[in-house]
Amino acid sequence: MRARPWMTEQFGESIANKEGELGRKILWAVAAVIIGLVILRISCPAVSHHLPFGPNGRTLLAQGVDAFDLSHDGKRIAIISGGKLQGINVDGSMNREHPNAVLAKPGYTSAEICWSVDDLKIAATICYPNDTSFIRIIDVNSGTTQEIAKAFALGNPVWLEDGKRLAWIQREDYSKSHRASIYVWRDGSRTTEIYGDEPANFFWLKMIPGNDSMGFIHIIHSDSAGREPGEPFSRLEIMQHNGTRPRSIPAPPGQFPIPFRGFMCWDISQDAKMIAYVYGWSIWLTGSAQGDNPIELGKYAALEIKWSPDGRRIGFVTTSPKSVRKRSSDRGQKVISPPHELHLINKDGSGHRLVCTEPQGIKSIEWLNNNEVLYLSGKDLYKRGL
C-alpha cells in the first residue's frame, strides 16, 4: 500500500520533532555539566584542582612545593618539598626513576633548584633563618649528593653549557655594602670567585645559551645615598665565565623617577639574540649584540618575565588591582603581595592578553612548550594551557 502524501509529510514532521527534542536535551545536558563543573570549582577548590579541564584551564601537578625546575628534555620536573628532592612527570605522576634525597631539615626559609644542561646533575640551594646556606649537587644516575659550598647566604644557581660548571651568587656576611660575589664550581675542583672586586649586590643571574657567558643584574646602590644625579640603582651586565670585565646593556632613553631608575628583571631568548627586561616599570626589548637600541613593548609593571621556547612571545607576571605593597627591598623595588596576574605579549608588542589571576601569587614561571606554562602559586605547582 503506497503511503499518501499527507501521511508521509506527517511522519517526517514527527521524526523532525523528535530529533529536535533530542537535540535540545543534549544541549541542556551539556549546559548542566558545565554549570556543575563551575559550581564544583567555586565551592570545592580542593576537588576542582584535579579536574582535567574547566574554566580556569589549569592542572595541579604537586602540592607543598618549595622550588621546581623543568628538565631540558621537557619530560621531568625536579621539586623540593619538605626538604626532600623528588621527581614528577609533566602530567603530575611520580617519576620512579628520579633520585629521592633528603636535602635539608625542616625550618629552612627558601630553596632553589636547577637542572644541568645535559640533565645529568641537579643543583639545589637551601637557606636557613640563622644565616646559613649551602648548595648541593645531586647526580641523577647514581643519586649521590655532594655539598660544594656553604656561606652566610647564597642562591640563584646556574649551570653553564658544558654541564660541568655551576655559577651562583654568594654573600659572606651582612653589611651596609651588601657585598656579594659570583662563584663558579667546576666538577672535580674547588670553587672560584670570578667577580666581586667591588661592593655589589647581584641577582637574576642567567646563563646565555650557546656560549660560555652569563648575565646578571648588578645593584649599584640600594638607596639614593651616594648615587650620582641621573645614575640608575642597577645595571644589566653580560660577562664571560672567566671573570673578564662585563659589558653593560644600555639603559633605555628618557628620564625616570628614582624608584624606577634601574633594571628590575630580565630574560634572554633561546637563540640568545634578544633580551627582554623591565626598566622604569615598562618592558623593553633589545638585541643582545652591542649597540642595539631598546624598544618599549608596553608599560607593564612586570615582576618576572620569560621568553617562550620559539622566541615569539613573552610571558610576564604583574600585580593585580588587589595587590598590596608591603615594604622596600634591597633590590630597589617594592615587595608586593598576591594576588598576581599572568600576561602574554608578542615580541613586537602586539597581542597582549591577560591569561589569569592567581590569589596566592605567581612565581618561577617556566614554559613547558609553546602552549603551556608551569608556575608556583603559593606552594602549589600548576600547569596551565594558554
**89, 93, 104 from 61: Cα distances, Å:** 9, 8, 22
Residue 189 CB burial class (10 angstroms; 0-12, 13-18, ≥19) = exposed
Give the span between the Cα atoms of 277 and 196, in whole angstroms: 23
What pLDDT is attached to residue 359?
95
What pLDDT is attached to residue 174?
63
Pairing of strands 191-195, 201-207: unpaired
- From the list 362, 357, 368, the residue with the least C-alpha distance to 380 is 362
The predicted model scores a pTM of 0.80
What pLDDT is attached to residue 53?
42
What pLDDT is attached to residue 157?
93
- Tell me the mean pLDDT per 10 residues along the chain, length 386: 42 51 68 57 43 63 97 96 95 92 89 94 91 91 92 89 85 64 81 64 80 79 55 81 74 78 90 92 87 87 94 95 63 69 95 96 96 97 96
Q: Are 263 and 236 in contact (CB under 8 A)?
A: yes
